Chains A and B, each alone.
Chain A
Amino acid sequence: MTSLLSVVNVSKVYQMDGVVFQALDSVSLSIKKGEFVAIMGPSGSGKSTIMHIIGCLDRPTSGKVFIEGKDIFKADDQELAEIRNTHIGFVFQQFNLLRKTSSLSNVELPLIYAKVPANERHERAKATLVEVGLSDKMSNFPSQLSGGQQQRVAIARALVTNPSIILADEPTGNLDSKSGRDIMTIFDRFHKAGKTIILVTHEKDIAKHAKRIISLKDGKII
């Protein structure tokens, strides 16, 4: 099976006031379609940095990233936005939902940028919210939802475009253990349905859900 995602010799160097800091040091990895991978490592080891690069939110200083064979290093800002929209579903630790905006509208957001017509948008967003168990919270604002429910809205938003890869950076980091387990049940279910998932976590219990674990330390894979 060919790899859905390959990262080849990726380095990321930050420069601040002349101080050079290497957040990633020649990282290479490859992920196949349908895999469920956890990235682990201590704080500051570069987990979020590699996730941002894979998610096309950031560019590597050197090295290459291929998503479905496409070299994203060459893409301009416009193309990166399109790749994020069609290939990537990002779940953040802080949920990042739009305030004063209903769950349904939050989930519809990526579809607006995918130029999906309004009717189809509503239908798909509703269906995805049902899948994450929020059929009764569609018109609630984020402020009227629990943390676990907010994260489920965020997962629905990541899934609604039917992306090639779901990236989740510490999705349970802001949740109590019960809500965290609920979230992981959802990820398990999507994995069984054939989705490709990359998850960053500190917790061993959470990482156990993944089928493969990649460990990072000081910007290197160990």
Chain B
Amino acid sequence: MSQFLPDPVLSVRNLRLGIGKRYEILHGISFDILPGETYGLVGESGSGKSVTGLAIMGLLKRPLSVTGGTIHFQDRDLLKMHPRERRQLRGDRIAMVFQEPMTALNPLVTIGRQIAEMFVIHRGMGWPEARRKAVEALESVRVPAPEERAHAYPHQLSGGMRQRVMIAIALACRPDLLIADEPTTALDVTVQAGVLELMAELCRAEGTAVLLVSHDLGVIANMCQRVGVMDQGRLVEEQDTRNIFTNPLHPYTRGLLAARPRLGSRTPGQRSRLIELDEVVNAKDRGRDMPTLITPRGPQLAPETRA
């Protein structure tokens, strides 16, 4: 282990989040993301990955709110920051790409303008200059014919292209941290790999740290240096990516791995959602502190056939 670990870009400590104090969704999670690092967050549906990302962005919607803990971004406490300051950080220093490219862009505004907006609000540019920068940004995410595409509306673009536009928006101001919440799950299998590679490449070039939320352990294996495993609002394991595949510590992680298609049989970027896992998990009532995922279900008698 290196003794010269740089200061983390993002430091989440004991983050609690819920609906008021009564109903808790995140039960105190802690993790760090180092500059330029890609940190993976895996876990089954409903384990709290998205709300973690939204909490960091400060975009939690009304019934949900942060109820405890701290989020430090480059040594500044995000939760104690003035709302205006925090807003100025959003999009500029911390950016986010969402899962749904189909609805994440305003259908009535050209994509060129939606990208240009970033330069207008964060760089104080006038629209003509911002527009030129937007075309450059489109070019950098390898949208063909960026000049013309800038005048297109979202509905005229494919899902993959829209997600490229989203990435262009997110990376427009060269943020220090990108939160990507299942950025390719909604995309066609054939374009997933391309979009992910593009994202990784651009972030590597700019030294942008990434918090990558994914169902797909294959994606995590390809993209991340470290991975955190979430289960029911807790971070149950955190490891270097290569270790987690060879030496998973937590039983829940082993369950995740077991439910995954064989590593050798998949091509990089191929979609392999943990459908099998979801079925197993949802079929059982698990105890809070004892994830019993790996215990074989075995044949069970239906209640009515029990003597």
Q: Do the two chains belong together in a single complex?
A: no
